[in-house]
Structure formats: structure tokens, C-alpha cells
């Protein structure tokens, strides 16, 4: 048997969603035979969903681009990498040289968080661009959590995670982890972890407008009016104060602002909020009492609480619920992860954090984490004047499908002077590009989910080497990103990205050896660089991060500590134990205390209050997840598209009857921004007055090259979303959209 025919097994973390499941990939030579969950993976223990099993389909997808494309006379042509880079230089540099850096914008999508190059090299493109016009998927679904963390804990990156494996009471708001795999809570095998809570006598309560799969697996489900979670949470908080159930325990002395919170909560009794949120006063009271009495409880909110007009308030109130009941920073409550590459917390105390260091040109939205809301990207392209966006770089993103007011954005992209995309596919967004630079296949590169381990329910370290050899002549994604940085900074398309990579690591090492708090303080930079020298690119960077992290080998100082060599010898990862309490040392606010009552959030409560008596709209739209989808980008994989049409409108039977909608017939859903027509699915799972349409569909751009997705195109739910935002975070409002629905004229 020749080497190319040998059956072999490779282990690789799944790059599709935040769960980071370990995969066991069986190959014959380089041919993928099948993919299963890796039973020995330290975090996932064998769990794997249909998407992970379809990773080979993405690797082998004939529609996945293997060569750069340039648009000439309206049609795409395959070209060499040299020609593609030269075209980028020719298109971008004149715009940059006209003097206004803001004329070039960057949008990066969620898959950037799932590649090593995206996690480690994006920052160099941002630095080279020097533009104010930065946009990402973060303002589509998660910025409120960063805002709450930044204002309360001093760092937007400090995300508290429910300690799923030890909690006795889990309150889930607006999340469906049994289908999504878990988000901002990396916990592969969510179904088993939730079942374990109930098996050990604990309780799960779900607050959600729809009876989702997670709601069905819970002890209790309470449907809530979309966008009203803040009322429900304030009602619970009112009960905690009124019945003297607030108990800070170990957090006493580490918080400030409790009297302000008491004053706010006093204004929202269960009787006052029940009508708005649709949850009975007795239920609000009982849940508050149960949550405070549980031996260990955790409240966890996600998409449904973030993608609404009070997203930041929701994120803040969920943290407050955990804090006021003494469940924050304790085992079984909510905790900050400290994964394998992390450095020890440096607090208490720090510089703190702020938003609004600059404002967007057209609508005056504050910058948050350096970004403006993606909901205003179209305004900035369409509106003439100094700073108008004339060129766009997209990296692993499909904003025409994922961002609000999609039809308007689609037209705006067509009006740009130049656009370049780094992407696997010619899709609804990249069809507007002048140049498309495809990264290599997912199995041709190494992988480590360092970003997602910052949100994991256990502390772990993991690295997966490439499963397949590099495609000859195809640069790695980090090389593409550094080449773009070099072009943008005027150093020329022909410059070898390896030179910039060497420079970056040399800078990192020489500044670390001068830093007192570093584990390599006082060491010779040249010695450390020579130890790192056998690797390059993201692997060298990773080795550096692991070795200098709190569990690292410190380049020999801590024998047995983590290095990339060690991780390569542990293909299932290293388990570093359960999450541990880190209060007060994690807190980096100027006061060194958890700020319970930041002024921006207190002010936003007054905006919330004005909506308490507003008449609820007759019909509102929410999104939903399916286990075979991951936003917009996996719809070209045949095994994930088989079966019934999933892009349907879920409607409660009462609504279907009053609107004249029949099962399977088409409904026309319209808002001020457009309309779509989709088949109706009548379902008791919906709350009357609430309908649901999944996002990520609408693959009908004539120029796109995704054959499977085109056959099952579905409709783009973002044609309906107007582009409103949560003012504190700039996060798009994608849930609770007022819609009109009629039977689709002329369609059966
Ligand atoms: S749950 Fe997420 S990480 Fe796990 S196999 Fe599925 S897509 Fe991959």
C-alpha cells in the first residue's frame, strides 16, 4: 500500500460555530472518508452536530474558490495571485492617496473568529488602514455584552460565562443553545450539559417568545413579548430589593452603585411590568425568589436579548441579577474563563473603558470598540461629503445577507469605486467585489480557537495542525492578510509577507522582555526568537502566546508548562480545570470595583420607561436558528440542505386564522424597507402576535456562484429590518420588528 492510500486519523477542532467541538477525521491518504466527534476531546467529549460532519463538504466544495478572481467588463476571471494583488494595489492606493483614509472601509464577518489568521492578523490590516470606518458582525449580534462588560468590569473583553457544569439553576433568556450550539458560552455538547443540570436536581427556566428546542428541554418556559426582557429583569430585581433577597456575599466590598440600582428597581414592580412583557406577576415574583434561593444560579442571555433596541440594558441587567444574588464570580454561578493562552488578571483597578471616542459621520453614532454600527454602513457609502466611503474591504463576511436593510446595502455596494473581498465564495456580497482573494481550504491550515476559549465553560488549551498539505501556490490566509497590509501601507504588492511577519514577532518579543510583569522579563530577545524560530505565521505567534501565558513553559522557566510542541503531543487538547473565581483581580475599572450603576445605563433606563405604556404592535418578527445552518455561509453544503425547506414563516394558529394564512401557502411579509414571500408553517410554538423567519437566507443574487444554495435560496430576512440600533452599543435591532402579513398575492 502506498502512503497515499493509507487510512489515517486526524484530529481537528470544528471551525463552524462557537462550540469548538473536537472532530475525528478519517482519511484515505488525503481523501476524507468520514468525520465524527472526537470522543477524547477534553471539551466536547465526542459531541458533534451535522455541520461538523459536513466539514469535508466545504473542503471539497467545487464552488469554493481556489484562485483569485478579478472582475473585468462585469465578469469574473481567474487570475494569478500576483495579478490579483497588483489589481488591489491599483484600485485601493489612489483612493487612499487622495488623502482621506476614511474613504476605505473594512467589514469583517463572524468566521474571522474561527480562523487563526482572522484572530491574529486582522489587527495588522486595521492598523495599516487607519480608517475610522470599521464595521463587523459584532454590531449584528453581540456588542451589548461588550458594552455591559466594559462599563461594569472595565474591559469589554471580560465576558462572564454561566458555570453550566456546576450550576443548580439556569435562567436562559433569548437563547436556544440546543440548536445554536451555544454562543458567548463555549460549551460543546450543550444538550448533555443541560440534561446534567436536571439530573443533579437542578432547574432550567427559559424566557423566550418561542417554544424553542431549548425551551422544550427546560423545566419551565415562559413566553415573553420580544424586546421586553429589560422589564422582566427589572421586575425580578424589584422583588429582590423589596423582599430583602439581595445578598452580595463574597462580592461585598467589591461593588459600588447598589443604592442607584435599588432606586431604579423600585420603579418597576412586577405589577407595572407584567403587561408590557407578558409574564404574570406571580411568575416574576416566584422566579426572583427561586433564583436567589438556589445554592448556585446563573442567568444567561444571548441573541434575543442583544438584537433589540434595549440590548445593552438587557446585558447589564443579566449581570446585575447574577451579582445581586451573590452568584457572580462563584462556582456554579457566572465566572470569567482563564484559558491556556491567557495572562493573569492584573487588577483590581485599571484605566476603565469608554465608548464614543468618535462619532459616525452621517448619524452621529458613538464608536464602540473602535467600530461603528454595521447598520449605518449604507449611510456612510451613500452620503456624499468628506469621509464618504468609496472603497470597501470585506473579510469573511456577507453583510448583504447578515446586515439590516439589505436591499439598500446591496445597491450601495454596487456604487463603490472599488471593493476587495477575502472569501471562500462568490456570494451575495462578494459579487460586488472587483477582486476576490480566496483563503485556502479549512483543512489546509492549522487551528486554535483562542478567542472562543475566552468564553468557554472550562479552561482549556488546544491546537490542531493542518490535516491536509497546503495547496501548491496558494498563500495561507495570514499571508493574504499581511500582503493586504503591505499594499495598504504602500510597501508594495511584491513585498514578501514573511518579512512583515518576522518584524511583528520581533517587536512583540523585544517589548515583552522589557516589561516587568511579563514572564520573560529580562530575557534576551534574540534567544527567545531563536527558540520560536522553527515556526512562522500564526503557529509562531501561538507558541509565543502559550509559552508566555499563565500556564506557559516560560521558555524553560516553568518546565512542563504549555508550549505548541506540548499541544501537538495532545491532539485532544489539555484540560486546565473548571473556571475559578477571579473577583476582584479581574476588575479593571478605575475604582477597582464592579460598577453596578454606570451613568450611560442609568440614563437608558429612562428611555426604557417611556416605552412601558406603549401599545404593543399587532405582529412582530423574530429570527430563529436551525442546527444545519450557521448564519449565511454553510448553505452550499448538500448534506446540510437536504430535507424540508427551513426558510419558512412560523405563525401561531390564531394568527394564521385571522390573517387567512394556510399551512404551506405563501405569505407576504412587509415593512417600510421591503417585502419577502415565504411559505407558512403553522406552529403552536409561537406566541400569538409573534412570527419567526430564520436569518442567513436569500441566496438569489444572479452573479453568485453557489449552486446548492441557489437551488434552496430562501429569502433574506434583512430585507425587512430597517436598520435601527440599540443606541449604547450600536447593535442592530433584528428582533421585534413590526411587520404586516397578508397571503402572498397570486402565489399558491
Ligand atoms: S456544534 Fe458547532 S463546533 Fe460542534 S460540530 Fe456543530 S458546528 Fe461544529
* DSSP tag of 183: S
353 within ligand 1 shell (Cβ under 6 A): no
**Spatial CA neighbour of 672 closest among 741, 726, 739, 727:** 739
CB 399 within 8 A of CB 631: no
Domains of the chain (ranges; CATH) run 1-60 (3.30.200.210), 66-143+368-453+465-492 (3.40.50.740), 163-342+591-609 (3.40.228.10), 496-570 (no CATH), 620-743 (2.40.40.20)
Distance in angstroms (rounded) separating the CA atoms of residues 216 and 392: 43
The answer to whether the CB of 434 falls within 8 A of the CB of 87 is yes
pTM over 0.85: yes
Query: Which residues, at least 6 apart from 305, have a Cβ–Cβ distance to it below 8 Å?
Result: 144, 173, 174, 175, 229, 311, 314, 315, 318
Q: Provide the pLDDT for residue 99.
A: 76
Q: What is the 3-state secondary structure (H, E, C) of 378-390?
A: HHHHHCCCCCCCC
Q: How far is CA 205 from the centre of its chain?
A: 24
Number of H helices, E strands in the chain: 28, 27
Residue 354: strand, helix, or coil: coil
How far, in Å, from the CA of 500 to the mean position of ligand 1?
34
Going by DSSP bridges, is the β-strand pair 31-37/69-72 parallel, antiparallel, or unpaired?
unpaired
C-alpha 288: how far from its chain's center?
29
Neighbours of 566 (CB within 10 A): 18
Identify which of 12, 16, 115, 627 to mutate to test ligand 1's pocket (most ligand atoms within 8 A of the CB). 16
Nine cell digits for residue 212: 424553542
- Identify whether the C-beta of residue 219 lies closer than 8 Å to the C-beta of residue 204: yes
Measured in angstroms, how far is the CA atom of residue 18 from the centroid of ligand 1? 7
| Cα distances (Å, whole numbers) of residue 213 to 30, 217, 571, 631, 680 | 38, 6, 32, 18, 19
Pocket test for ligand 1, best of 19, 47, 56 (most atoms within 8 A of CB): 19
C-beta 21 within 6 A of ligand 1: yes
Is the CB of 19 inside a 6 Å radius of any atom of ligand 1?
yes
Contacts of 74 by beta carbon, 8 Å cutoff, 6+ apart: none
Contact 462, 13 (CB under 8 A): yes
Nearest Cα neighbor of 668 from 604, 615, 741 is: 741
Measured between alpha carbons, how far is 221 from 206 in angstroms, rounded to an integer? 5
Q: Does residue 640 line the site of ligand 1, with CB under 6 A? A: no
Q: Can you give the pLDDT at residue 517?
A: 87
Decide whether any atom of ligand 1 lies within 6 Å of the 634 Cβ. no
Q: What proportion of the chain, given as a percentage, has pLDDT over 70? A: 99
* 562/579 Cα distance (integer angstroms): 18
Q: Name the burial class of residue 117, with classes exposed (0-12), middle (13-18) and buried (19+) by CB atoms within 10 angstroms of its CB.
A: buried
Helix axes 497-512, 537-548, angle to 10 degrees: 10
What residues of the chain score a pLDDT lower than 70? Answer: 1-3, 748
Planar angle of CA 267, 269, 271, nearest 5 degrees: 130
Q: How distant, in Å, are the alpha carbons of 7, 61, 242 from that of 29?
A: 6, 18, 67
| Alpha-carbon distance values, 489 to 83, 127, 483 (Å) | 18, 9, 10
Could you tell me the distance, in angstroms and rounded to a whole number, from the CA of residue 441 to the centre of ligand 1? Answer: 17
pLDDT score of 3: 54
If you search the block for the grid coordinates 522553527, which residue do you land on?
A: 534
Distance 57 CA to ligand 1 centre (A): 14
Dihedral sign from CA coordinates of 43, 47, 51, 55: positive
Would you call 631 exposed, middle or buried from its count of C-beta atoms within 10 A (0-12, 13-18, 19+)?
buried
Quote the ligand 1 centre to 618 CA distance (angstroms): 37
Ligand 1: centre distance to CA 300 (Å): 20
C-alpha cell at 595: 460598577
Amino acid at each position: 500500500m502506498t502512503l497515499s492510500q493509507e487510512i489515517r486519523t486526524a484530529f481537528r477542532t470544528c471551525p463552524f460555530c462557537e462550540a469548538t467541538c473536537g472532530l475525528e477525521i478519517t482519511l484515505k491518504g488525503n481523501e476524507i472518508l468520514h468525520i465524527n466527534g472526537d470522543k477524547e476531546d477534553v471539551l466536547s467529549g465526542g459531541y458533534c452536530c451535522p455541520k461538523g460532519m459536513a466539514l469535508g463538504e466545504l473542503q471539497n466544495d467545487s464552488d469554493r474558490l481556489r484562485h483569485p478572481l478579478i472582475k473585468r467588463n462585469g465578469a469574473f476571471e481567474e487570475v494569478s495571485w500576483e495579478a490579483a494583488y497588483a489589481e488591489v494595489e491599483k484600485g485601493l492606493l489612489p483612493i487612499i492617496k487622495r488623502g482621506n483614509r476614511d474613504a476605505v472601509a473594512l467589514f469583517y464577518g463572524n468566521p474571522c473568529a474561527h480562523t487563526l489568521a482572522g484572530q491574529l492578523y486582522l489587527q495588522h490590516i486595521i492598523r495599516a488602514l487607519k480608517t475610522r470606518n470599521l464595521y463587523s458582525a459584532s454590531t449584528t449580534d453581540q456588542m451589548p455584552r461588550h458594552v455591559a462588560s466594559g462599563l461594569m468590569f472595565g474591559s469589554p473583553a471580560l465576558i462572564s460565562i454561566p458555570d453550566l457544569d456546576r450550576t443548580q439553576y439556569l435562567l436562559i433568556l433569548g437563547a436556544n443553545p440546543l440548536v445554536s450550539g451555544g454562543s458567548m458560552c463555549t460549551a460543546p455538547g450543550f444538550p448533555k450539559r443541560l440534561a446534567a443540570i436536571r439530573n443533579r436536581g437542578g432547574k432550567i427556566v427559559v424566557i423566550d417568545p418561542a417554544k424553542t428546542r431549548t425551551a422544550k428541554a427546560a423545566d419551565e418556559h415562559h413566553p415573553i413579548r420580544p424586546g421586553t426582557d429589560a422589564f422582566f429583569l427589572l421586575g425580578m430585581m424589584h422583588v429582590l430589593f423589596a423582599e430583602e433577597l439581595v445578598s452580595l456575599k463574597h462580592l461585598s466590598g467589591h461593588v459600588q452603585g447598589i443604592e442607584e440600582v435599588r432606586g431604579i428597581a423600585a420603579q418597576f414592580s412586577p405589577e407595572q411590568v407584567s403587561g408590557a412583557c407578558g409574564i404574570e406577576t406571580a411568575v416574576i415574583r416566584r422566579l426572583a425568589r427561586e433564583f436567589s434561593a438556589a445554592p448556585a444560579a446563573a442567568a444567561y442571555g444571548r441573541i434575543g436579548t442583544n438584537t433589540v433596541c434595549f440590548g445593552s440594558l438587557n446585558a447589564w441587567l443579566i449581570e446585575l441579577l447574577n451579582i445581586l444574588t451573590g452568584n457572580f464570580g462563584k462556582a456554579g454561578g457566572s465566572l470569567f474563563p482563564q484559558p491556556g493562552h491567557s495572562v493573569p488578571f492584573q487588577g483590581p483597578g485599571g484605566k476603565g473603558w469608554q465608548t464614543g471616542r468618535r462619532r459616525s459621520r452621517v448619524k452621529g453614532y458613538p464608536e464602540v470598540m473602535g467600530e461603528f454600527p454595521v447598520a449605518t454602513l449604507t449611510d456612510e457609502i451613500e452620503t456624499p461629503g468628506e469621509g464618504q466611503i468609496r472603497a470597501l474591504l470585506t473579510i469573511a463576511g456577507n453583510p448583504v445577507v447578515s446586515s439590516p436593510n439589505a436591499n439598500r446595502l446591496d445597491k450601495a455596494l454596487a456604487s463603490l469605486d472599488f471593493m476587495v473581498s477575502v472569501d471562500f465564495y462568490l456570494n451575495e456580497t462578494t459579487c460586488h467585489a472587483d477582486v476576490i482573494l480566496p483563503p485556502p481550504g479549512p483543512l489546509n491550515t492549522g487551528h486554535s480557537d483562542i478567542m472562543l476559549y475566552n468564553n468557554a465553560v472550562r479552561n482549556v488549551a488546544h491546537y490542531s495542525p493542518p490535516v491536509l498539505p497546503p495547496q501548491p501556490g496558494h498563500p495561507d490566509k495570514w499571508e493574504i492578510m499581511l500582503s493586504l497590509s503591505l499594499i495598504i501601507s504602500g510597501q508594495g504588492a511584491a513585498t514578501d509577507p514573511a518579512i512583515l511577519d518576522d518584524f511583528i514577532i520581533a517587536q512583540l518579543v523585544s517589548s515583552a522582555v522589557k516589561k516587568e510583569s511579563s514572564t520573560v522579563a529580562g530575557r534576551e530577545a534574540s534567544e527567545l526568537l531563536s527558540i520560536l524560530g522553527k515556526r512562522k505565521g500564526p503557529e509562531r505567534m501561538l507558541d509565543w502566546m502559550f509559552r508566555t501565558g499563565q500556564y506557559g513553559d516560560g521558555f524553560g522557566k516553568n518546565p512542563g508548562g504549555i508550549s505548541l510542541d506540548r499541544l501537538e503531543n495532545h491532539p485532544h487538547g489539555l484540560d486546565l480545570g473548571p473556571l475559578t473565581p477571579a473577583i476582584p483581580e479581574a476588575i479593571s475599572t478605575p475604582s477597582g470595583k464592579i460598577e453596578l450603576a454606570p451613568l450611560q445605563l442609568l440614563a437608558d433606563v429612562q428611555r426604557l420607561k417611556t416605552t412601558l405604556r406603549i401599545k404593543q404592535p399587532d405582529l412582530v418578527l423574530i429570527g430563529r436558528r436551525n442546527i444545519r445552518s450557521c448564519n449565511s455561509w454553510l448553505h452550499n453544503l448538500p448534506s446540510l440542505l437536504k430535507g424540508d425547506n427551513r426558510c419558512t414563516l412560523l405563525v401561531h394558529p390564531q394568527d394564521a386564522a385571522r390573517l387567512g394564512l394556510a399551512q404551506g401557502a405563501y405569505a407576504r411579509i412587509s415593512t417600510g424597507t421591503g417585502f419577502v414571500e415565504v411559505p407558512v408553517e403553522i406552529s403552536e410554538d409561537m406566541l400569538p402576535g409573534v412570527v419567526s423567519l430564520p436569518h442567513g437566507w436569500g441566496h438569489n443574487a444572479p452573479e453568485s456562484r453557489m449552486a446548492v444554495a441557489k437551488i434552496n435560496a430562501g429569502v433574506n430576512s434583512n430585507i425587512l429590518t430597517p436598520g435601527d440600533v440599540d443606541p449604547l452599543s450600536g447593535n442592530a435591532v433584528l428582533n421585534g420588528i413590526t411587520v404586516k402579513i397578508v397571503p402572498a398575492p397570486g402565489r399558491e
